[in-house]
Amino acid sequence: MSMRRLSLLLVPACAAWLGCGEAAPSSEERSPRGLPVLTPREGTAVISQDDVLPGCGEPDAGTGAGDAGTPDTSVLVTADSRYHSSAGVTVVPESLAGRDLEILIPHGIDFDRRTGTPVAGGMRFDNVPDGEYFLRANRLYFLTRARHFDLGLNRIGRPDAVYTSIMESTASLSFTHLEPWQDWTSAYDPGSSLQATSADVDLYAPLSPNEYPTAGATTLEDPVAWVYSGSGRGLPALDATKGDRLYVNQLNSVGAGTLPSGGPLVYSTVVSSLHPPAFSFTPDGTTSLPLSGALQPVAQQPFSMEWRLSEFTRWRTDANPTGTLSTPSLSLSPAPFGYQDGWVGYQGELLTLTLPRGEDGVIARRLAYGNPYPSSSGVVGTVGYSFRSATPVVVGTRNHYPSGGIYVIDRLDHLIAGPLQPSISPPRELRIDGVDAYASRVVGTTQPVFSWRPPVQGTPKAYVLSVIQLVGTFDANPTLRFYVPGDRTQVRLPPNLLLPGTVYYARVTADGSPNYEPWRAPYITAELLPNVSADTYSAAFTTP
């Protein structure tokens, strides 16, 4: 799931505060998309100027002149939403008033700070000298020298849709003509499940019956089932006059032979679907979502793949010398409106294949997936292998496993045109203040310097440093992320970010996605395909 450079006046400080990285060679379980969203799975806006990104220490070409040839020292940040629907793409300007934004300009080992002024179309920051700066958006830090920075997001669904604060609701389910229901066996053989999706509004919602059908059943009657928002935002209001329709998909397990280790290979795919007429419904926490009808069989579309697990597992010690192999996975999902803007919108899974921890070798197989969506939609594949620490880090009552992974995301026809294998390997030799970061210790400061070596395989377009706080509750782990260009192999944290006496771990992602430009438009470009990345991760460390 990256930034720029310093002016000539700041070049002497370059190595001290960020580091001029050596040239890359030519040759939380996190989201594989790499970039966390400011608001759930959203969409984009106005394209900013093209920024030339010279290497560390190169002369700064400037950013143009203002009145009477005076250099422009302002920075404009925009964040329009770009809604994708059957009617096309609608750009809606978004106000940045009240958004937690700040510019940090490097000054030795410290930073000068600038706050912004809301203006029509975005937020303007004044008195920002030519050169590099961090744009901070909440807990995300983007290193850039752009004079127009685009925080715009791609969204799915009509722009006038209304989203409630309701994250879960009761549902009344009445289905016939199901494919024979399957019981859950294990995480690798999940049996049957139901999902509701829509591209008319942003909806991905697993359905959970109060009482599951018995094995082999082909009907389901449940007036007190549950529907959960899986998009990260509240359930939307459906409007029949706007043509809002849902899909209800049934997924079943399918056997496909044996694994290299000898165990069964089982995947889950859509086997039947219901596309009822448009109807109106507003979630209110009390009224049940009514879903009923006869599901129809979904034709299975075959494809062949050669998944070289060994090409992922061979990078285990680069990810972490003492780490272990964790979970390999493969999934296919719809791209509701094609590939023009990459993978925009989430409508559940067409196929998922999760293998047992540590599975290795090569899987050459012919599988098939069900796709109930129009032929104008695309199919995107994600293949990944995660790694994690061999023993947990215990904080309070919670066990944490520092982790990372290697991920490849692309349109399916491109993904399976050759063997499934990574094109970039993890960064190497992660250090904190010059000391091996793969061994747990108390660091000497709350403003450490993180450094690493480039990957053996592939050329990073950008690096992402994530500093993850390990908490004793089961809340989300607070995470700081720093996006820097692929010629950098060092980041010094700004002061007063890390808490004293607190446990963290760090992950550095080498992102080799050819169209990714987090120094200009991080959210828009993160969704462009292909997307390739690989992580190295530290042991837990404690601040003084």
What is the DSSP track for 151-199? Answer: --EEEES-TT--B-S-SEEEEEEEEESPPPP----BTTB---EEEEEET
CA 360 to chain centre: 25
Residue 67 DSSP SS3: helix
C-alpha 532/C-alpha 526 separation (Å) is 10
C-alpha 143/C-alpha 126 separation (Å) is 17
C-alpha 268/C-alpha 188 separation (Å) is 9
Q: What is the DSSP letter of 239?
A: -
pLDDT at 71: 65
CB atoms within 10 A of CB 189: 18
C-alpha 94/C-alpha 101 separation (Å) is 14
Nearest Cα residue to 133 out of 12, 17, 1, 15: 17
CA 288 to chain centre: 32
CB of 517 within 8 A of CB of 2? yes
pLDDT at 90: 97
pLDDT at 68: 45
SS (H, E, C) 267-295: EEEEEEEECCCCCCECCCCCCCEEEEEEC
Strand partners, 410: 381
Tell me the CB-side half-sphere exposure of residue 160, using CA atoms within 13 A.
6
* Six token digits for residue 275: 């596309």
pLDDT at 14: 33
CB of 223 within 8 A of CB of 199? no
Instruction: Say what the pTM is.
Output: 0.87
State which amino acid sits at residue 168: E
Sign for the pseudo-dihedral over CA of 307, 313, 319, 324: positive
Sign for the pseudo-dihedral over CA of 229, 231, 235, 239: negative
pLDDT at 94: 92
Write out the chain's pLDDT in tens, 544 residues.
Answer: 222 212 222 222 233 333 333 222 322 444 433 333 333 222 322 222 223 233 333 333 333 334 445 567 999 999 999 999 999 999 999 999 999 999 999 988 899 999 999 998 899 999 999 999 999 999 999 999 999 999 999 999 999 999 999 999 999 999 999 999 999 999 999 999 999 999 999 999 999 999 999 999 999 999 999 999 999 999 999 999 999 999 999 999 999 999 999 999 999 999 999 999 999 999 999 999 999 999 999 999 999 999 999 999 999 999 999 999 999 999 999 999 999 999 999 999 999 999 999 999 999 999 999 999 999 999 999 999 999 999 999 999 999 999 999 999 999 999 999 999 999 999 999 999 999 999 999 999 999 999 999 999 999 999 999 999 999 999 999 999 999 999 999 999 999 999 999 999 999 999 999 999 999 999 999 999 999 999 999 999 999 9
Phi, psi of 10 (to 5 degrees): -100, -5
CB of 537 within 8 A of CB of 403? yes
Quick one: which H or E segment has residue 110? Answer: strand 110-114
Residue 241 DSSP SS3: helix
